[in-house]
Amino acid sequence: MSERDALWHGTTILCVRKGNKVVLAGDGQVSMGQTIVKSNARKVRRLGDGSVIAGFAGATADAMTLFERLEAKLEQYQGQLTRAAVELAKDWRTDRYLRRLEAMMAVADKQASLILSGTGDVLEPEDGLIGIGSGGSFALAAARALIDIDGIDAEAVARRSMAIAAGICVYTNTKVTLESLDV
């Protein structure tokens, strides 16, 4: 894997929708190749009026640009996340500048959880779980195993799943940031 690929995939973002909550979790590790540069980065945040939570995997500056663009689309489309995400994905895929951005996003509001990519994808998983980044598949597998256990809420599923991913993926750590919404 090239250094560019390591930067592209070096993080873990997990979205869990269970019961009356949707939780977005992100690890804090920032890596450049094989070096850990920072351990407490915030890759998950609230957007707009706080009704949308978003996380990114990929180049930080690119993700900040995409967060700003998504916020503008949310404002333009009165907080309609799915519509704003589709319009952002169109721009991302076709705009000469944006299509060079290297990041993926997981976004959620009360109604939907979505994956956005630079290839124009806006995907809504049928099970309400999203995992992106290098540790995303590990966290996603753990979340799928834990989601149906009674007595474990969305936040507990997210925390346990992120801990499992951190134990497997060298680009993921245990310093997790969580944002949640009541649904």
Catalytic residues: 11
φ, ψ of residue 40 to 5 degrees: the values are -130, 40
Of 106, 55, 109, the closest CA to residue 79 belongs to 109
Tally the residues of the chain.
183
> How many other CB atoms are there within 10 angstroms of residue 86's CB atom?
17
Of 130, 74, 66, the closest CA to residue 102 belongs to 66
Of 150, 148, 133, the closest CA to residue 58 belongs to 133
| DSSP annotation string for 33-69 | TTEEEES----EEEETTTTEEEEEEE-HHHHHHHHHH
Query: How far apart are alpha carbons 142 and 101 in whole angstroms?
Result: 29
Q: Are residues 155 and 117 in contact, defined by beta-carbon separation less than 8 angstroms?
A: no
Which H/E stretch holds residue 71? helix 60-76
